[in-house]
Structure 1
């Protein structure tokens, strides 16, 4: 059995200083992220969930992190199966995002979109902007979520599909971002000068 590593942190150390949950949610809604579906398991026993909390961690070895609610069945399955797959959704795959966000029952989610299997047996979404398969190399519980670190063992990318973006509580597209006017001055925001202190 492969050795995995688990760390823990004291996220409550400064809880009394933290902003309120509504303020947190409103502020973080301004982040823009690729909409993904994280999966684990094999065949009819597969589970998946729409996620945006994911980031690349290392190029050596190639690694990625996903954040999953600790008490969810998917988190339990990822730990038990020692791996997960990730589909980075493409523009036009909003129905898949909605399905795995809980808008249809779990047993019917893999009927939305065209799914195949990685050699590991984990789910692979066809037509995604990018897809990857990972073996679990570490996990760390932070608050009510667990960060799973996966070493990437297989990838598939599309050269013609732009990623589906989530920001300000709605789906966005790169085309819309491209159509926004460029900020003045070499593509960087220009800040108004501040008056020096007297």
Structure 2
């Protein structure tokens, strides 16, 4: 809206500068001469152009933000290869993979992780879209039943963080042993 207001103000300044209102103003206000009108027209024109340019910059920033949000989390080919290579060296257990229902970016990133896990010969169940009561937050949450210091979930958590994928571990004793749940939350 501010863009159009600024454009209208610039248009008004241009009309004064071109002379459509110049004769009317000079007839009704004899103390105003052409130099005054030129200065007024230039000032109005500059104000209008400033308003439109500020609004344009704001809209450009908003569009860039939306484009970045839509793009979502991505991994380079090298990061995918490194992660897959390191996952191949770990003992495999069943992974239940989930994304947040209604969050397309979360589900898309969960599918990317699934492809990496399958490439590394892991048993993956999902990607399921789930609603987590109380929310899951940002990044990736790894849930497992074991609280051992060298558990599979903790090793997987360290591996993801080492490869610039923000993750955290949560011990949930009621989970099936030898199974890990990976929940891909919202983008941070």
Question: Normalising by the residue count of structure 2, what TM-score does the alignment of the two structures yield?
Answer: 0.22
Q: Relative contact order: is structure 1 or structure 2 higher (C-alpha 8 Å, sep ≥ 6)?
A: 1
* Higher gyration radius (CA): 2
